[in-house]
Amino acid sequence: MTQLTRRTSDRRLRDLQREVDSIFDQFFGRSEDEDTSAVWAPRTDLSETDDAFRIRLDVPGMTKDDITINLQNNTLTVSGERTSERTDEGEEYVRVERAFGNFHRTFTLPNAVDRENVEAAYEDGVLTIHVPKTEESTRRQIEIQ
């Protein structure tokens, strides 16, 4: 059973995280325009069949317009932002477990994928990316003579 206990906002922790990220960014020479820190990362399943890879990401509360998918060379990057639903300034949250803010997930794909036919679909809070393999890389059974 979950106890309802009053806690202070996690705003201080996020402010501290931003400050530490800023220090690392300055040290490593990253510009402030680069989005290098993700606040959360969606849960992801990656599966493989004989002819394709399938990546499924849980991104509830978002629309397909909130999500960007980029494929460059062998790197597939999924990024976006989930905004907070907090609208009432007078409302004090007792517990906050859902993450909001920017996210990005990066996947390194093998050379044997068909980059031209990658497809993505979004349904019921789940983003599914279908990455087909090239014909040369698909498994086939060899008949014994």
Per residue in 51-62, pLDDT (tens digit) is 899 999 999 989
Mean pLDDT of 42-67: 93
Q: Are strands 75-82 and 52-58 parallel, antiparallel or unpaired?
A: unpaired
- Shared domain for 60 and 13, answered yes or no, is no
Mean pLDDT of 15-32: 64
Q: How far apart are CA 58 and CA 43, in angstroms?
A: 6
Mean pLDDT of 37-62: 89
Under the banding of pLDDT at 50, 70 and 90, the label for residue 17 is confident
- Shared domain for 43 and 31, answered yes or no, is no
- pLDDT surpassing 70 at residue 106: yes
Q: Are strands 75-82 and 101-108 parallel, antiparallel or unpaired?
A: antiparallel
- Shared domain for 12 and 55, answered yes or no, is no
Q: How far apart are CA 74 and CA 67, in angstroms?
A: 20
- Shared domain for 125 and 67, answered yes or no, is yes
Mean pLDDT of the chain: 80
- pLDDT surpassing 80 at residue 125: yes
Inside any domain, residue 1:
no
- Shared domain for 20 and 63, answered yes or no, is no
Inside any domain, residue 89:
no
- Shared domain for 63 and 49, answered yes or no, is yes
State whether residue 5 is helix, strand or coil.
coil
Inside any domain, residue 143:
no
Q: How far apart are CA 76 and CA 139, in angstroms?
A: 23
- Shared domain for 45 and 106, answered yes or no, is yes
- Shared domain for 59 and 122, answered yes or no, is yes
Q: How many domains does the chain have?
A: 2
pLDDT tens digits for range 72-89: 988 999 999 988 777 667
In terms of pLDDT, which residue wins out, 29 or 124?
124
- Shared domain for 54 and 111, answered yes or no, is yes
Say if residues 51 and 132 touch (Cβ distance below 8 Å): yes
CA angle, corner 48, sides to 79 and 114, nearest 5?
Answer: 70
Under the banding of pLDDT at 50, 70 and 90, the label for residue 64 is very high
Tokens of 55: 């990546």
- pLDDT score for 111: 86
Inside any domain, residue 110:
yes
Say if residues 81 and 103 touch (Cβ distance below 8 Å): yes
- Structural domain boundaries enclosing 104: 38-84+94-136
- Shared domain for 60 and 106, answered yes or no, is yes
